[in-house]
Amino acid sequence: MKNLVAGIDVDGIQTTFALVDEFGKIYAKGSFPTSDHKEFKNYVARIKEEIMALSGMLDIPHDISAIGIGAPNSNYYTGDIENAANLIWKGRLPLAQQLSAMFGNKPVVVTNDANAAAIGEMIYGGAKGMKHFAVVTLGTGLGSGIVVGGNVLYGHDGFAGELGHIKIVKENGRPCGCGRKGCLECYASSKGLRRTAVELLEGKNESTRLKNIPIEELTSKDIAFAAKAGDPVAKKAFEITGEYLGEALANLIALISPEAIFLSGGVANAKELILTPTKRAMEKNVMPLWKGKVKLTLSSLEYENAPILGAAALAIKEIQKKNTTVARRKIF
């Protein structure tokens, strides 16, 4: 009997799910549009139905031991999604509890996609065997999953790890979705990269292929494509993005002293274009004590499957935790 887990990645548009083993091998995979169901209850029932169907199609004997879910604004401690701006259901959604009830009380755990990415890196990727590291996801926004002593840092309320909302520009910072100004994610994310490129385009008359694209249609992918072809403005936009990110990572290092930091997500998919300037700025700004000592690298998980692998790894991590019993003798 093969032990598998289900990994589920929820975003505003798509819900993707897979059956995965402890080595990160994906046995079956599927997806459906998240907004298919107006009622949250029906959405949860659909997840169960889809996973059962996937399991039924698999022709090797297997057991689904646990279910891990990466979802926006979700809380590991409560199992709920809380006030997610990008989902159609509002308020507090008891995702883990409802799904677990449908699966005969199997362990179901949720966390946000950045924490799932960190666990994915730890179980399947470049952070195997590491106890202290961080994964920074550079998508539309900037998320981070911080691992301390082998466990994700969830903090007092389950929402720790908001590196994207470190304020890095004090005066006239860009407005952030969180309601404040100057947050890191306004600079180091696909949105941030785009805004930086637009500012560069407005300010200069330099020859650049980006001028051929109407500004409102310009995407971070266009910028990456142009930068790879050597376009100076596009390259400059990546350099500025990396500079902001590297400075923030130097601060992160001072607080958590990680063995390594991994970059993942869409912007990280531009590889050296973002890695090189980030590393330069990180090394320039970090305390002498850590110069040349903290590895900065790209996530080793395949970009396409990273979210579901992270979710699956979350389930595996949970089983490992449950198998650890703690006995205490008290003297003091």
Give, as ranges, the residues between 260 and 299 that touch a copy of itself (CB under 8 A). Answer: 285, 287-290, 293
Does 213 bind a copy of itself (CB under 8 A)? Our answer is no
CB of 206 to a copy of itself, least distance (A): 25
Residue with smaller CB distance to a copy of itself, 172 or 324: 324
| 297 touches 126 (CB < 8 A) | yes
CA 326 to each of CA 65, 77, 147, 156, 209: distance values in angstroms, whole numbers, following the listed order: 22, 19, 21, 21, 61
Alpha carbons 124 and 20: distance in angstroms, whole number? 11
Q: Which of 254, 271, 272, 302 binds a copy of itself (CB under 8 A)?
A: 254
d(C-alpha 275, C-alpha 151), whole Å: 26
Binding track over 91-130 against a copy of itself, x by CB under 8 A: ---------------------------------------x
CB of 42 to a copy of itself, least distance (A): 29
DSSP result, 20-70: E-TT--EEEEEEEEGGG-SSHHHHHHHHHHHHHHHHHH--S-EEEEEEEEE
Task: Give me the 55-74 binding string for a copy of itself, x by CB under 8 A, dash otherwise.
Answer: ----------x---------
Residue closer to a copy of itself by CB (options 13, 178) is 178
Q: Is residue 257 near a copy of itself by the rule CB under 8 A?
A: yes
Q: What are phi and psi of 219, to 5 degrees?
A: -120, 165
DSSP state of 277: H
> Under the criterion CB under 8 A, does residue 149 sit at the interface with a copy of itself?
yes
Tell me how far apart the alpha carbons of residues 307 and 297 are, in angstroms, rounded to a whole number: 18
**Which helix (H) or strand (E) covers residue 92, if one does?**
strand 92-93
Shortest distance (Å) from residue 275 CB to a copy of itself: 20
Binding site for a copy of itself (CB under 8 A): 3, 22, 65, 130-133, 146, 148-149, 151, 153-163, 165-167, 170, 178-180, 247, 250-252, 254-259, 285, 287-290, 293, 316, 319-320, 323-332
